Structure 1
Amino acid sequence: MNIKAPRGTVDVLPKEAQKWQYVESKIKGICDKFHFEEIRTPLFEHTEVFSRGVGDSTDIVQKEMYTFEDRGGRSLTLRPEGTAAVTRAFVQNKLYGEPNQPVKLFYFMQMFRYERPQQGRMRQLNQFGVEVLGSADPAVDAEVIDLAMTVYKQLGLSSLKLVINSLGDKESRANYRKALIEHFTPYQEELCKDCQSRLQQNPMRVLDCKTDRDHPSMKTAPSILDYLNDESRIYFEQVKNYLELMNIQYEVDPNLVRGLDYYNHTAFEIMSEAEGFGAITTLAGGGRYNGLVEQLGGPNTPGIGFGMGIERLLMALEAESISIPVADELDCFLVSVGEETKQEAVRIVHDLRLNGIQIDKDYQDRKMKAQFKAADRYKAKYVLVLGEDELQNQVINLKEMATGEQIEVPLEKLVDTMKDKLLGGE
C-alpha cells in the first residue's frame, strides 16, 4: 500500500503554513490598496474552458492537464491556470454588466499540471493572480505590473528583473506569424517534434521552446517589434512610459512570447536574479488577452492579468535570506492538577478564548512538572496553575515566565487580568 503523497505534491506543515499565511496576508493587503476584489472559482471546469481559452496548441492542453470523465459523460479538467477560469466566471455571472468598470479581481488558487516535478514547480501548485477585465487602457497594463512588483518589493525582494514585450494586435500577429513560418521552414526538420507541429499551428511558440532555444535559427529569428503596426507600437510606448513614470525598471525582450495562445499586446515576466535561486528564474508572468472573453461566449471585453507562484515566491525569499516572521510563542498555558480541576480548566480556557486570549492546556493527564515543560516548549508568556486548593478558594496562580513573578488572582477577575496583561486592557 502506497500511503505517501503523490509525486509532484507536498505537505505544508504548520510552521511552513504560517509563512504562507503571512505572505498571503501581505498580498491581500496590497490588493486592497490597489482596489482589487477576491474571486474564487471551482477546482475543476468543463474541459472546453481550457481547450478554447488556453489554446489547443499549448503544452498545457496537449500534455499537462488532468482531465477525466464524470458519471454523466462530461469531460472535466482540474484547473491548470487561473485566467480562463476567471474569465468563464466573468461571462457566466455577467460581470461585464456591473456599473463599476473595469472589474479588478484577485485570487489564490491551486493549479494542477502533469509535468516533471522540480524545485518550485510541482504538479499541484499554488498561484496568486489578478485579472482586470473591461479596459484597454495601457495604464491598466502598467498598474497590473506595478501590483506584481509591489508584492515582491514589500516582501523584501530586491534581486528582480522585469522583462516586457509587445505581441501586437491581430494584424501585427498575423504578419509576424507569416514571417516566422518563412524563417523557420528551412530548419523544420532540425527542430524538435513539438516545434515541427507548432510551426503551422502557432509559430510564436517555437520561440518559447526549451529544447531548441540554442538552435542557430533562434538567434536570427525576426523580431515581433519589427512587425507592430502603428496602433500596437503606440500602445507599447504608452505602457513603457507609464512604467517609467512609476520608476519601474524594465528590459524589452522581443523573444518573450509567453506560453498561452490568448496573449496579445503587452506580455511580461518577473525573474529572480538572486544567486543560487536555480536555473528556472521566472517568478511571475502575464499579459493582455483581448479577445478571450469573446472566445468563452461573452461580449467584446479587453483583459489583462498575471499569475504568481507562491512556492517560487517563498524560494526567492529564502534565496535572498529574507526571514518571514513565524509566531512561535503562546500567550498562556493552563496547568491543572487533580481530577476536580479538569472541568473548571475547560471553562477557564473557553472563557479566555472568547475574550481574545490565546491559550492552551494539557490533554494528556501529565504531572505538573511535565505540564510546565510543555509550557516551556510552547514558549508560553504566562502560565496559569490551578490545583484543588486554588479551586476551593476560587483563585488561580499566574506566573510570568520571563520574570518568574507569580501572583494569585481571583477566578472572577482572571479574564480582566489577562486582558490587561496581554491586550492592554481592551
Structure 2
Amino acid sequence: MNGAPESLWQWAVPALIVFGAAALLASASIWALRRARRSPRARAAAEAERTAAGSALVRLDDAVAELDIEVGLSGALYDGTAPTALRRARMTAQHARDEAFAEFRQLDADTHPDEVTRVSRRIRARTDAATAAIAHARTEHADWMDANVTATAQVRAAQERWASLRDQIGDPQALLDELAARFDASEWTDAARAATDAHAGLAEAERLLRDAAERAADPTRSALAALTRAERTIRRTQTAARTLEENHRVVLDAADAVAGQVEAARGALRQAATVRSGLEPADAERLGAQMREIEAALTAEERHALRRPTATVVAVARLRDRLDLALGDARTAQQRLRGARTALPGTLAAARNAIAHAAPAVARSGADARVRLATAEQELARARGADDPVAALDAARRALRDAEDASALADYDRLTRG
C-alpha cells in the first residue's frame, strides 16, 4: 500500500525541480529581455531613430511651406489652370505633417524605446512618402510651366510680385522710428532685424531678377537658376515683411493694453484679499506672504510699463498665474470665473507675442522646436475659440509656455550648430 505514494513522490519531486527551474529560467529571460530593451544602448538606438524621424519631419515642413507659396502663385498668376496635383499634394502633405507632429510630440523620456523606434519609423515612412509626392507634383508643375509659360513671362510675373512687395513694405524705417521714439530697444529688436532682412531681400531679389531678365532675352542662356534664386529671395522677404508688421502691431497693442492689465492684476489682488479673510490663520498667512511678493513684483514691473509694454504684459500674465496657484481651491466658482475673464486678455497677448518672437528662429530649427511652436499655435487657437474663460485661460497659459519652450529649443539648436 505504501509503494504507490513513494513511487509518486519519486516521480513528482524531480518533475517539480525541473519545472521550477524552467519557470525561473523563463522569468529570468523575460526580465533580462525587458532590461535589455530599456538599456542605455537600446535608448540610444531609439533616440537615433527619433532624430532621423525629426529630420524627415523638418524636411517635410520646409517642403510644405514652399508648396504653400507655389500653390498660391499658381492660382493667382495662371487663373487656376495649373495642374491640380500641387493642391492635392499640399493637402496630403499638410495632413501627414500634422499627424506626424502629433505623434512626435508624444515621444518623451518616459516612452519605451521599442515604442519610440516603432513610432519614429512610422513617422519617417509617412513623411518620406509625402515629401516624395510633393517632389513629383512640383516636377509635374514645372513641366506644365515649360509647356505653357515662357521664361520671359515668368520673369515678368516675378518682377510684378517684387514690385508689389516693395510697395507693401514701403519704408520700414518709419515703423522703426515710431517704435524707437516710444519704447525701449528690447521691444523692437525683432522688428529691426526683420526690417534689415526685408531691405536686403528686396535688393538681392532685384539683382537676381535683372540677371534672369538678361538671360531670358538670350536664347542661348537659361534663366531658370537666377529666377529660382530670385523666387526664394522674394519668399524670404515676404516672411521678413510679415514679421516686421506683426512685431510692430504686437508692441502697439501691448502699449494700449498694459495699463489695463496692471489694474486688472491689482483687482485680482484685492479679490484675493477677500478670499484670504475667510481662510484659516496658517493658510491666510501663507497666502498673504505670496500676495505681498506678487504686489512688490507688480509694482516693479509697472515702473517700466510705458517703455517695455510687451515685457510687462508677459510679466503680469505670469504674476496672475502665480496668484492663481497661491489661491488654489480657496475661491468660489464665481470668483475663478471673474478672475479668468480679467486675466485672459493679457495672457492671450503674452502668448501671441511669444509665438511671434519664436517663429523666425524656429523656422531655422529642428523638429522639437517646430513641434513645440505648432502646439503653442494650436493652444492659442483653442484659447481664442473656448467659450469657458477658465478653459481659455488654461489654454492661453499653455500656449505661452510652449512658445517660450520653442524659443529655448531654437536657441539651443543654434548654439549647438554654431
Q: TM tier, shorter chain?
A: under 0.3
Larger strand share, 1 or 2: 1
Return the structure number with greater relative CO, CA threshold 8 A, min gap 6. Answer: 1
Q: Which structure's residues are more often helix, by fraction? A: 2
TM-score under structure 1 length normalisation? 0.24
Computing the radius of gyration over CA atoms, which structure comes out larger, 1 or 2? Answer: 2
